[in-house]
Chains A and B, each alone.
Chain A
Amino acid sequence: MGSQELTGGPGAGLPAEAGLHAAAVQESAWSGGGSPFAMGSKKLGMWLFIVSDAITFSALIIAYSYVRVASADWPLPFHFYPSVIKATVMTFVLLSSSVTMVMAVRAAKLDQRGTAAKWIGATALGGLTFIVLHAFEWATLIEEGVRLFKNPWGSPLFGAAFFTLTGLHMTHVAIGVIYLIIVAAAYGKGKLSSEDVEVSGLYWHFVDLVWMFIFPLVYLLSVKMG
């Protein structure tokens, strides 16, 4: 951290969009400049959004955990095959798509626009795979008779908890896939800066992070033994 502040120049004369990050990094902390976190406003904005969205998901996850612990007749509908296997594969796909996103950000930092666009495309493909697998999972449960406030096995809250949590998460994944495709296309064509790629990466990693809570708490706490 320290070395950046000392090398600071005013960063003037750079093109506004592309130079924003560089200017923010180089600006001296004591010059009265406006970037205390050494990052562009879009990136800071995304961080703030992520924290507020994290609180939304926390509220849902904690509410779910509450009814899960307090219900004696919580349904245990997830067989090892196919449900748990499928959810594990979905976790793998999402984690791997995070790695491809990291590679995209790295390529963007090195100014390799084509490579970065391909890695972002791979990430979006991972997200799409996740959505398809999850849609099948929903279809299976609905076929078995799970509704928002009704299911054949036990506590009627199961459907509400399951569909709300995974549904909100899937909405985030779907928005993320669209976002990534737009960023990949624009960045490949020479628009946007490497920081814009980084911002989309932050969002994608957050979506991945939320699933790290939903997978064990929703699926692994409700597995069918034997």
Chain B
Amino acid sequence: MEQSAEHTHHAGSVKLFLYVWFWLLGLTGVEVFLAYEQLGVKLMLTLLMGLSIIKASLIIAYFMHLRYERRSLALMLMPALIFVVCMLFVFFPDSLRLLHMRPR
């Protein structure tokens, strides 16, 4: 039941695409607004990175249609990507300490 409802929903819903588009533009607006708030670089980086991940997820799920493909595709691709990205972050804590460790 649920399956077929989802299917007719995605077959021709220009409305959904426009809705996603408005959300993406809205989140972009929030990011530009945030840029002019006086926040620390670490907090700002976290917020902007988080908002970007939300936007990327919206694009992947709806524009790239991954939500409506077989679940096995997402299960093959996403864990691998997330694992590699986490490994790339391994050295990141160093950058937070580096500023204070530098000889003056």
* A interface residue numbers (CB < 8 A to B): 1-3, 36-39, 44, 47-48, 51, 54-55, 58-59, 62, 65-72, 80, 84, 88, 91-92, 95-96, 98-99, 101-103, 106, 110, 198, 201-202, 205-206, 208-209, 212-213, 215-217, 219-221, 223, 225
Report Cα–Cα, A169/B5, bound state, in Å: 38
Q: Is the CB of B48 within 8 A of A220?
A: yes
CB distance from B70 to the nearest CB of A (A): 5
- What are some 15 contacts across the A-B interface (CB < 8 A)? A38-B69, A38-B70, A51-B81, A62-B92, A95-B25, A96-B21, A99-B18, A99-B63, A101-B63, A102-B17, A106-B12, A205-B64, A215-B31, A216-B49, A217-B48
- Using known A-B contacts A3-B3, A69-B41, A70-B98, determine if residue A220 contacts B25 with beta carbons closer than 8 Å: no
| B interface secondary structure, majority | helix
Report Cα–Cα, A192/B18, bound state, in Å: 27
Q: Is the CB of B35 within 8 A of A84?
A: yes
B96 (CB) vs chain A CBs: closest residue: A69
Q: Is the CB of A58 within 8 A of B85?
A: yes
A62 (CB) vs chain B CBs: closest residue: B88
Report Cα–Cα, A91/B25, bound state, in Å: 9
Report Cα–Cα, A208/B20, bound state, in Å: 14
Set B38, B64, B91: member contacting A202, Cβ < 8 A: B64
